[in-house]
Structure 1
Amino acid sequence: MDLPRHFVIRESSHRVLNPIEPAQLATLGAALRLPVGGTVLDLACGKGELLCTWARDHGITGTGVDIGTAFLADARERAAGLGVADRVAFVHGDAGEYVAAELVDVVACIGATWIGGGTPGTVRLMERSRKPSGMLLVGDVFWRVDPPREAVDALFGDLRGVDCLPLPESVERFHALGYDVVEFVAADERGWDRYVAAGWLSMRRWLDANPDDELAPEIRAELTRSQLHHVRWQRPYLGWGTFALMRR
């Protein structure tokens, strides 16, 4: 069980594997007023930047779960580099099936709501690990403006478990699931650019270094497609943010 190789290549230079920039991730951690010693479970944790930096800055302890072995290796290296390897642990496994052995203060799933078959299912999965007084952090997409049919097909035509709504309807969905939205940090166009465009350089440098690799044609096609996909559809239409939720 692992991530496709092309995904690892594209994301090789990233620390945060979504459009929120490191400064916004720090803003979110400060805004949540996390208690020293608080416990966090991060489902589909990627390279573990949330857990590692919040352990350093706020004294939390936590566990991250992901199927990406290369990403988990980076997460463990990051934890060691920040001096928090004794406070965070990383588990190779399917985040869509993971439930904490002990309930935690915060359960996060930042940008991987497909693990529960969509946002409602992911919220229900996260609830199984949350203390009654705890929070959920859900990173999710939303429509910035009303999209044409072509944008919907281009962005989500091949994806299952993604139900993108306008921002007001996204908040209403959390209300319907029984939650208040108590904090919100949104990516902007700069964040999208930094996330997506960094992958272009990673792919191009990989192609230059590996022209005869069997994956090279696929990476070349992805590099060409991604540039137009981003500027034509993703950047103008798609929003992305992290919602902090508390049970009503």
Structure 2
Amino acid sequence: MDLPRAFTIRESGHRVHNPFTEENLATLGRALRLAPGTRILDLACGSGELLCTWARDHGVAGTGVDISTVFLAAAGARAAELGVADRVGFVHGDASGHVAPEPVDLAACVGATWIGGGVAGTVGLLERSVRPGGLLLIGEPYWRREPPDLKTVEACGATARDDFLALPELLGHFGELGWDVVEMVLADQQGWDRYVAAQWLSIRRWLDENPDDEHAGEMRAELTTGPVSYVRYQREYLGWGVFALMKR
């Protein structure tokens, strides 16, 4: 049970595995007014940057769950580096079936709503772990501009236009599910650049070091076509944000 190797190759240089910059993540932590001792569950936590930096900056504690052994190793190292290993821990497992043994103050899934089959299912999954009056965090793409055709949709990682919503539709959807949107921090194009463009250098360096690897052809094709596709489609049409929710 692990992520596809191509994913960990392209994001090997990342601490945050989505279009959020480290500054965005810090802004979100401050915006949520986290009290020391806040208990967090982070599903599909990646390399654990949210838990580790918020433990350092706000005194929170919590658990991250992820399927990637590579990212979890990085998360453990980051916790040790920041001196918070006594407050945060990481579990290798399928986040789609994970429920906290005791209710937490904040349950998060930042950029991986596929674990619940979409936004509604992920909200339902997180709700099983959060205490009454607690917070949910959902990180999700949305359409910045209406995609003109299926080619644009597919270049943005979707199979149909309805896979993502426009921002007003997304916020309305949270309300339809019975949740108030109480905060949000949105990525910008610089955040997208730092997430996607940073992958190109990781891929190129990996290719130079592993020219005969079985994944070399796949990664070379991605590096050849990816930059132009990104600036033509994803950078222009796709937004991304993290939304804080409280049950009505």
Considering the TM-score relative to the shorter chain, is it more than 0.5? yes
The answer to whether the 8 Å contact 2:55/2:61 transfers is: yes
Count residues in correspondence.
246
The aligned counterpart of 1:148 is 148
TM-score scaled by length of structure 2:
0.97
Deviation string for 1:28-85 (max 9, x for gaps)?
0011011110100000000000000000000000000000000000000000000000
The aligned counterpart of 1:136 is 136
The aligned counterpart of 1:197 is 197
Q: CA deviation at 1:163?
A: 2.4
Distance 1:211 1:107, change over 3 A: same
The answer to whether the 8 Å contact 1:200/1:223 transfers is: yes
Pair 1:246-2:220 in alignment = no
The answer to whether the 8 Å contact 2:17/2:46 transfers is: yes
Q: CA deviation at 1:156?
A: 3.5
Q: Which moved more, 1:19-28 or 1:216-225?
A: 216-225
The aligned counterpart of 1:220 is 220
Distance 1:32 1:141, change over 3 A: same
Partners in 1 of 2:174 and 2:138 — Cα distance?
10
The aligned counterpart of 1:43 is 43
2:105 aligned counterpart, secondary structure: strand
Percent identity for Structure 1 against Structure 2: 65
Q: CA deviation at 1:241?
A: 0.2
- Counting only pairs closer than 5 Å after superposition, residues 74-223 of structure 1 correspond to structure 2 as 74-149=74-149, 150-158=151-159, 163-223=163-223
Partners in 1 of 2:159 and 2:94 — Cα distance?
21
The aligned counterpart of 1:24 is 24
Q: CA deviation at 1:158?
A: 5.0
Partners in 2 of 1:215 and 1:146 — Cα distance?
34
Q: CA deviation at 1:157?
A: 4.3
- List, as ranges, runs of 4+ consecutive aligned residues in structure 1 with deviation greater than 6 Å: none
2:122 aligned counterpart, secondary structure: helix
Q: Which moved more, 1:223-232 or 1:113-122?
A: 223-232
The answer to whether the 8 Å contact 2:153/2:159 transfers is: no
The answer to whether the 8 Å contact 1:154/1:233 transfers is: yes
Which ranges in structure 2 are unaligned for 5 or more consecutive residues? none
The answer to whether the 8 Å contact 1:119/1:163 transfers is: no
The answer to whether the 8 Å contact 2:40/2:107 transfers is: yes
2:163 aligned counterpart, secondary structure: coil
Q: CA deviation at 1:154?
A: 2.4
Partners in 1 of 2:154 and 2:15 — Cα distance?
29
Q: CA deviation at 1:148?
A: 1.0
The answer to whether the 8 Å contact 2:48/2:75 transfers is: yes
Matched AA of 1:5: R
The answer to whether the 8 Å contact 2:38/2:59 transfers is: yes
Deviation string for 1:137-196 (max 9, x for gaps)?
00000011111122113224459xx82000000000000000111101000000000000
The answer to whether the 8 Å contact 2:44/2:67 transfers is: yes
The answer to whether the 8 Å contact 1:65/1:90 transfers is: yes
Matched AA of 1:154: A
Matched AA of 1:153: E
RMSD: 1.1
Partners in 2 of 1:191 and 1:229 — Cα distance?
17
Matched AA of 1:54: W
